[in-house]
Structure 1
Amino acid sequence: MEQITESLNLVLIGRTGAGKSLSGNTILGQQAFISKKSSKPVTQYVAVKSGTVGNISVNVYDTPGLYDTDINEENIQQTLENVLQTCESGPCVFLLVIKADKFTEKEKEIVEKIEKRLGEKHLKKTWILFTKGDELEDENMTIKEFLDDSEPLKKLVQKYDQRYHVFNNKAKEDNGQVQNLLVKILKSYFDTLEDIPEILTQNSLKRKILKNIEPDTPADSLSSRQIVLLGKSGVGKSAAGNTILGEKKFISVMRMNSVTSDCSVKHATVSDRPVSVVDTPGFFDTKMTREEIAKEVAKSVYLSSPGPHAFLIVLRVNDRYTEQEQQIPHLIERMFGEEVLKYSIILFTNGDQLNGDSVEKLIEENCKLRHLVQECGGRYHVFNNKDQNNRDQVNDLLQKIDTMIEQNGGGHYSNQMLEDALRIRQEEDEIEIVRNETEKRVRAEIKALSHFSPLKTSTWF
């Protein structure tokens, strides 16, 4: 096979019947590969076809169904080695093709074998490509809802740091699914990989990515929004989630103890755009330790793939901004890092209890609250969760989120930001442990010295 440079190389791998050849045709927008229903591999050898997607040159490699009975281990290894040698002259990404269907033990076993063959280095460049998106659409189910119903697949995408995408290979028109996949892949490739050849930092491929794709759209969709709700128990996080989504998706009751003990994500179409909302456990929940809360709340980032566009820090407009509330922004920064407030908006609930006062007046009268709003770029919003039919309040919130995204350069909070925050927190905890142990040892030494000191005798005076 001829080596092709200055292009993105996409390698389709997986078992027979998963839809590799169909997916290759979808990417290239033409019948480039032979595709038909068969229990035996239609593709006997590695086939490569080239095309252009949104001004980006791509080479698609269709491989035989791995670990089928007609292909022995030696041929499998040779197939992968040939592909690696051929495509790694340029940026190379593996698409592990899996049907959005029941994930059987046999399929799990095949995935594990493929992972072993690829090795850790290449797994970092591997994305899961789910096919059968048309069947999900027929059942009015999103890919995230499908994954929530399948614990093995849910664990699999977590293992891949939420690197996944879904294809409807029966779609007759270009609905942006291919371009959205390339946006995800290319942003991840150039932002996170350490082994990018130096030439790629200046070549035309990256310039095309930055010019033609990256600025236009968040990675998930042209208008999709991923929102995470944060705050103490009883402030109306779940009710706010229901208000945003326009229907009762989260359990919401009047209670000071947290109703939500696990992160949960719900989806809806709001003003013709896909919106996902993650509800989180309340800070200071007496049923959970602070460390347990921190670990659970951190999951919200992975549930908001490719990353939250907005964190909503929920406060009740009629509450006193006490010392406990003042701890919340520090807790959030400790969990998510200093960058998190760039992606945050204060959401005041109980807007019906303002009683003619303006929220601006309340903010102005409390310097601590005013400081928090300033830390969030002056962004705040008010909800009346008792009036869920008032969609203007939701549309106004989405508009503020859109404006914030523009101010952040079109980006979102990422998994990498969370990992950096977790690493810093771990380092700080280790330093604190050493400091406490040192102080304890010094006190013990001082106590021992004072016990035997002649200064304690009466003759001193």
Structure 2
Amino acid sequence: MAASSSQSELILVVLGPDKAEERGAIRSTLGLEDNQQGTDVQDCSKHRGTAAGRRVEVVSSPAWYGSACSPEERTTHISSFIALSSPGPHAFLLCVPVNGRAHDESKALDALAKLFGPDAVSKNTIVLFTHTEELGEDETLEQYIITWRKDLQELVGRCGDRYHTLESCKAGGEEGKAVEELLEKVEQAVKESGSKHLSCPLYQEAEGRVRQRQMEIIRQRREEEPSDSQPEVTEEEMDAVREEAEKSVGDLDLDLGGIFPSGKQVSSSSASPSWLGGLWEKLVGWFRWLPSLVRIEALFGALVGLFVGGPMGGTVGATVGSVATEVNRRKTEKKN
């Protein structure tokens, strides 16, 4: 039996911290409107279209890592997106907001590697950065990552140094260029991996079930329309029922124990480092926007204010920062 014609399409699986991130990536890639994508955040879905002259399938899944769903729901969601992206995706697009910490995203890559093998991360994943409007006017995404975000550098490094954004250009033909560059990176990743698409036991199982279900659907339909002859099943018939078969595949044999969070409340002892980390990220973010002349002095003042604490800390920090800035300015004037 000939290979399915759908395999000539690029299959992309979009993984994001929430459904809004995924919808933005899908809309930018295929030019879809919101009303074409559905509204049920718990359902996986597939969208087909043509982007940059290429036929593309984009599969979106519920929140990949941080979702507090039950183990049963997670098994159903993951089984669904595997079936929809069978026989295997050409790339996973991991949506990562540049204005957040990369802690959960790193764990999301761990989960991806445990389920589909390490190649799924190192050879078949591209980091798709979102919220890049947070960057300064003259600051590129590359500059921001290299200068300020070691955590994002490590995340990108795990994915073979592949990253992209679809938000760099807001209008005109530039948006199409961003899409074209993304698909070129996908094709380059496929070429470097030496395989047509990601293949692993889970996807092999899913493809076997999908094709079995296709045959069952075709036989059922033939029984409803009796005929003296029973011609061989054609690939065109298989393609015609492919989508129905993918949606009707049951839960796969998944061992998710210890891979995903249980959804339980985080204890106060473990929350403190997260709080401090978030505070530090905000401080660094604020510090990054300051002119270079006053950055060190302002950071010094902010740290003093943080140490003192309370309303008084803010006043003291601001005063220290201002004095340090003025002293530095006068030193600079004397040198000149």
TM-score tier, shorter chain, comes to 0.5 to 0.7
Are 1:332 and 2:112 counterparts?
Answer: yes
2:133 pairs with one of 352, 357, 362: 352
**CA shift for structure 1 position 226:** 0.5
The one-letter code matched in structure 2 to 1:250 is Q
The one-letter code matched in structure 2 to 1:312 is L
> Contact 1:264–1:280 at 8 Å: present in 2 too?
yes
Q: Distance in 2 between matches of 1:370 and 1:406?
A: 23
Residue 367 of structure 1: aligned partner? 150
**CA shift for structure 1 position 235:** 5.7
SS in 2 for 1:391: helix
Structure-to-structure mapping, 1:168-317, within 5 angstroms: 181=2, 183=3, 220-221=7-8, 224-233=9-18, 236-248=21-33, 249-251=36-38, 260-282=41-63, 283-286=65-68, 288-290=69-71, 292-317=73-98
Q: Distance in 2 between matches of 1:388 and 1:298?
A: 37
Q: 1:410 to 1:302 in 2, by over 3 A?
A: same
The one-letter code matched in structure 2 to 1:403 is Q
The one-letter code matched in structure 2 to 1:353 is E
CA RMSD of aligned residues (A): 3.0
**CA shift for structure 1 position 291:** 5.1
* Cα deviation code 1:320-359 (max 9, x no counterpart): 33x3333221122233232211210000012333223222
Q: Distance in 1 between matches of 2:180 and 2:38?
A: 23
Q: Distance in 2 between matches of 1:298 and 1:337?
A: 16
- The normalised TM-score by structure 2 is 0.54
Residue 187 of structure 1: aligned partner? none
The one-letter code matched in structure 2 to 1:375 is R
* Cα deviation code 1:6-30 (max 9, x no counterpart): xxxxxxxxxxxxxxxxxxxxxxxxx
**CA shift for structure 1 position 386:** 8.6
Q: Distance in 2 between matches of 1:290 and 1:332?
A: 16
Are 1:403 and 2:188 counterparts?
Answer: yes
Runs of 4+ residues over 3 Å off in structure 1: 385-389, 417-426
> Contact 1:350–1:383 at 8 Å: present in 2 too?
no
SS in 1 for 2:126: strand
Q: 1:318 to 1:385 in 2, by over 3 A?
A: same
Tell me the number of residue pairs that the alignment of Structure 1 and Structure 2 aligns: 205
The one-letter code matched in structure 2 to 1:284 is G
**CA shift for structure 1 position 219:** 7.7
Q: 1:345 to 1:298 in 2, by over 3 A?
A: farther
Q: Distance in 2 between matches of 1:418 and 1:326?
A: 23
* Cα deviation code 1:186-210 (max 9, x no counterpart): xxxxxxxxxxxxxxxxxxxxxxxxx
Q: Distance in 1 between matches of 2:134 and 2:82?
A: 32
**CA shift for structure 1 position 236:** 1.2
Residue 278 of structure 2: aligned partner? none
Residue 320 of structure 1: aligned partner? 101
The one-letter code matched in structure 1 to 2:42 is S
Structure that is richer in strand per residue: 1
Which structure 1 segments of 5+ residues have no match? 1-94, 96-180, 185-217, 253-258, 430-461
Q: 1:424 to 1:306 in 2, by over 3 A?
A: closer
> Contact 2:95–2:128 at 8 Å: present in 1 too?
yes
The one-letter code matched in structure 2 to 1:360 is E
Q: 1:234 to 1:262 in 2, by over 3 A?
A: closer
* Cα deviation code 1:206-236 (max 9, x no counterpart): xxxxxxxxxxxx9812xx2110001211561
Q: Distance in 1 between matches of 2:201 and 2:171?
A: 35
* Cα deviation code 1:51-83 (max 9, x no counterpart): xxxxxxxxxxxxxxxxxxxxxxxxxxxxxxxxx
1:382 pairs with one of 165, 184, 191: 165
SS in 2 for 1:387: coil
**CA shift for structure 1 position 319:** 2.2
SS in 1 for 2:93: strand
Q: Distance in 1 between matches of 2:185 and 2:22?
A: 18
**CA shift for structure 1 position 289:** 2.0
Residue 266 of structure 2: aligned partner? none
- The normalised TM-score by structure 1 is 0.40
SS in 1 for 2:37: coil
Residue 302 of structure 2: aligned partner? none
Which structure 2 segments of 5+ residues have no match? 207-251, 259-336
The one-letter code matched in structure 1 to 2:37 is F
* Cα deviation code 1:264-292 (max 9, x no counterpart): 00101122221110011013223x22552
**CA shift for structure 1 position 423:** 7.0
